[in-house]
């Protein structure tokens, strides 16, 4: 198992290098002059030339890429042209909010999607199955921005049950300051016992998390149903029933464990879907995460920030898939010897 994991980690290195090369090339081929955008309007041409030289944008692109890799090897992601701060500091500030939103959306996807898929398979061609199938169809059909706006209109504007945007109520933070440990507000509030802030965070994150998780939740539900139906037709399931085992034991002990093997792989891919969807979700709900930061840097042609966001998202995605591979080995021991 250790050899398998080491081999998987080793394969991630060329993947990350390839991502940096593609992202660096594409971002530098976009028409525009980031040196001029960084200085603002009404600047002299000589100032733009001087700024391009200072930023190293007048060098050949292959030399710029080599300098970027050299700095990256020392943990230097460059300085943002928009915020004028090191990109590493910006990502440290914005990424926890995105991570918190993504993790909660992933929890919703797993906790609701797997049981819903099991119920749909067990109650095949009955009303729970029909309801689940309609839910799955709408989940992959409804655009994420439309769903977000609809939830805002219903639950925030008309009913007033939940806040429309933001991460936490500013007034509550003034009366109950939060001692941040990880940058994940829900965890920090729970760990420090700051219940007013915890309640406010849960209210603010509910709508964005539901919006972000809806599409992946539908996919997982559909996949679990399909996998369960396939497993339930296997001979060992009929044998377990013939032994007189209860239907609940047969479904959850024998069928579900084997049906989850392909689902585990999809969960790893879901992380990438959630990270990508968070960009739009954060914009709709004014969520102060990496997605909103990325949108601002892209419109400003902020090359260092764009590369930093891309690299961090890639690392998060491949790390999630590595964890899935490890868990896959634990669930299916045959992979250890393949």
178: CATH: 1.10.3720.10
Distance CA 47, CA 62 (A): 25
Between 219 and 271, name the one with better pLDDT.
Answer: 219
Residues 59 and 157 in one domain: no
Looking at the fold, whether 132 and 45 belong to one and the same domain comes out as: no
The rounded distance, in Å, linking the Cα atoms of 306 and 80 is 9
Which pLDDT belongs to residue 13?
Answer: 77
Q: Find the mean pLDDT for residues 36-56.
A: 68
Per the domain annotation, does 119 fall within a domain? yes
The verdict on 49 and 191 lying in the same domain is: no
Instruction: Please tell me whether residues 49 and 137 are part of one structural domain.
Output: no
Are 152 and 56 in the same domain? no
Q: What is the mean pLDDT of residues 281-298?
A: 84
Same domain, 160 and 239: yes
pTM (2 d.p.): 0.81
Whether the predicted pLDDT of 37 surpasses 70:
no
Same domain for 64 and 111: no
* The total number of structural domains that make up the chain: 2
Mean pLDDT of 218-222: 86
Q: What pLDDT was estimated at residue 209?
A: 92
Q: What is the pLDDT of residues 80-119, one digit of tens each?
A: 878 888 888 888 888 889 889 988 998 998 899 888 888 8
- pLDDT, residue 260, reads 76
215 and 134 fall within a common domain: yes
**Residue range of the domain that includes 246:** 95-337
**Do 145 and 180 fall within a single domain?**
yes
- 229-283 tens-digit pLDDT: 888 877 777 787 787 777 777 777 777 777 777 777 777 777 777 777 677 888 8
Given a cut of 60, whether residue 337 has pLDDT beyond it is no
**Contact at 8 Å (CB) between 176 and 196?**
yes
Q: Based on the fold, state whether residues 300 and 242 are members of the same structural domain.
A: yes
């Amino acid at each position: 198992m250790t050899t398998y994991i080491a081999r998987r980690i080793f394969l991630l290195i060329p993947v990350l290098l390839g991502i940096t090369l593609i992202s660096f090339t594409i971002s530098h081929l976009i028409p525009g002059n980031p040196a001029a955008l960084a200085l603002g309007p009404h600047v002299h041409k000589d100032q733009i030339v001087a700024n391009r030289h200072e930023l190293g944008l007048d060098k050949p692109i292959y030399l710029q890429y080599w300098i970027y890799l050299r700095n990256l090897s020392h943990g230097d992601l460059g300085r943002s042209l928009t915020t004028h701060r090191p990109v590493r500091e910006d990502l440290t500030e914005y990424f926890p909010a995105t991570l918190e939103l993504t993790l909660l959306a992933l929890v919703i996807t797993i906790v609701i999607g797997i049981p819903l898929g099991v119920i749909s398979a067990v109650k095949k061609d009955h009303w729970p199955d029909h309801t689940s199938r309609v839910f799955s169809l709408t989940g992959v059909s409804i655009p994420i921005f439309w769903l977000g706006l609809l939830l805002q209109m219903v639950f925030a504007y008309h009913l007033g049950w939940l806040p429309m945007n933001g991460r936490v109520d500013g007034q509550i933070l003034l009366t109950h300051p939060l001692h941040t440990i990880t940058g994940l507000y829900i965890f920090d509030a729970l760990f420090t016992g700051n219940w007013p802030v915890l309640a406010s965070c849960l209210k603010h994150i509910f709508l964005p998390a539901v919006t972000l998780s809806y599409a992946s939740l539908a996919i997982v539900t559909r996949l679990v149903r399909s996998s369960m139906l396939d497993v339930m037709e296997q001979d060992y399931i009929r044998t377990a029933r013939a032994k007189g085992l209860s239907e609940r034991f047969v479904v959850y002990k024998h069928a579900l464990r084997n049906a989850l093997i392909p689902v585990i792989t999809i969960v790893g891919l879901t992380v990438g879907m959630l990270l990508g969807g968070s960009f739009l979700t954060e914009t709709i709900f004014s969520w102060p995460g990496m997605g909103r930061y990325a949108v601002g840097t892209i419109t400003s042609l902020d090359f260092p920030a764009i590369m930093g966001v891309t690299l961090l998202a890639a690392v998060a995605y491949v790390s999630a898939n590595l964890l899935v591979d490890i868990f896959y080995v634990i669930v299916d021991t045959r992979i250890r010897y393949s």
